Structure 1
């Protein structure tokens, strides 16, 4: 989540680049990194079967492709903070829906902690102006961000973090490639300059290959509800990187938001550790 939050400044480099082409290159490079790393580390990448193919396709279409489209189109109708605030509600969605998909009931403590983390994230990011279309794109971005985790829940027991990451990235590459050919043409890759290539490399290796595996490994280990709390780290990391990149020190509301996020994380994750001790044989 720190890598994802820190990528905000890096992604801004690509604002004038052909979006679909840049994303195609990003995910194609990430797929190569994942398969090479899996072989070097001896990690299994099982082949999907049955309905797993459909779930992976839905995951790639929503969590990877449509999410990025929602961010771009939403920015045309709303300030970035408005979209970010909607996405910041992910802990609440995962805290309620995640346990149901895992065959459990949502716990009041995790839901309360998720509400605290969400409130803190909103303070960090601010609110921002928007219109009706912007609200619609923001809601879509929230749904897609939640789908990125929730659709992986039934896949992780058999495919594992490496399998879910690699197959979804490959499918995302193919989807972005099709959109790039139709919307930007096969020569759009030549429009990427040195700065674009550097940004794409960072996003491919750290924000896609590394972050995907770490995230899905966490979801598999502690469950989607507890993992969802950690999304509160992203806006805090974005604010910290912003200080380094721009030199602008955030105002008091941001620091209050950071404190609230930390409190929510401490309450929620402390519950997880306590539960783990109780069920340990």
Structure 2
């Protein structure tokens, strides 16, 4: 929940980077986040392992889809669609994770999660609103949805061996390298000098709180409760964005936003609360036998 709150709060901060060179700025962000996370991992005593075999493919997939392509899809998408369209597409993540996540985890989907996911999605749509788009905008929105889901799904096979610390570190430095190459080719090596002081501060906040801290919190949650239930928590991001927008002078939320907040909270509570298991289902392979009463003169 804390991680998704940080992600939602980044919407206001990210607006200061609209005019900044995209690839170069993101390369600086992920490079700084990698350095920060290495220090944090050392202080926490976390052991970082070198990837091997197919693990490189999973980690590279996270970097390419969840970190590089997602940013490209959002930036290119808003040129053909209003930002709300991209946000609505990303709001479908809980349902995607609820269906595909358990498959990668080799278990059946949770009925509780599948029932709560559409409620969370509906609440997010009410909070974010809708907007105009064209066919190209729809395609970019669909790509953003796929990349956002891949950020979690591709981590499932490597979380057990590498831990949230390892997955975060490897995904970050791989993305930093890719973005640095893209930035050098398309924006030039001197693009980093175009960043203003305010933009450097924004990059620092994104690197520390929204990347280094939020990544570890998110992957820790995925490993602890599963990708399906964790996916429901993405609904917290629109709530945080709406709250930060109100505090920062965005005005009082409309009635539809308040309704969306209520729907979101109901969906989160319904999907995350522990399911009560009847006593007879807790130990299906154990038969309960009545214990005969003990005689008063029996030795203990």
Taking structure 2 as the reference length, the TM-score comes to 0.91
Q: Which runs of 4+ in 1 moved over 3 A?
A: 277-280
> Which protein has the bigger helix share?
1
Task: Classify 1:188/1:142 alpha carbon distance in 2 versus 1 (closer, same or farther; 3 Å).
Answer: same
Residue 51 of structure 1, aligned match among 45, 49, 54 = 54
Counterpart check, 1:216 vs 2:219: yes
1:234 and 2:237 equivalent?
yes
Q: For structure 2, which runs of at least 5 residues remain unmatched after alignment?
A: 284-300
1:60 to 59, 63, 66: 63
Shift in CA distance, 25/279, structure 1 to aligned 2, threshold 3 Å? farther
Structure 1: gaps (5+ residues): none
Matched residue SS, 2:273: helix
The alignment status of 1:26 with 2:48, answered yes or no, reads: no
- The alignment status of 1:264 with 2:273, answered yes or no, reads no
| RMSD (Å) for aligned C-alpha atoms | 1.3
Which of 194, 197, 204 does residue 194 from structure 1 map onto?
A: 197
1:14 maps to which of 14, 17, 27:
17
CA contact (8 A) 1:87 1:141 kept: yes
How far apart in 1 are the matches of 2:135 and 2:23? 25
> Alpha-carbon deviations, 1:115-158, whole Å to 9, x = none?
10011000000011110000000000000000000000001010
In structure 2, the partner of 1:88 is 91
Q: CA deviation at 1:271?
A: 3.6
**When the two structures are superposed, what TM-score results if normalisation uses the length of structure 1?**
0.97
> Are 1:175 and 2:178 counterparts?
yes
Aligned residues: 278
Distance 1:6 1:82, change over 3 A: same
Instruction: Output one character per residue of 1:189-209: Cα deviation in whole Å (capped at 9) or x when no partner.
Output: 000000110000000000000
The structure number with the bigger radius of gyration is 2
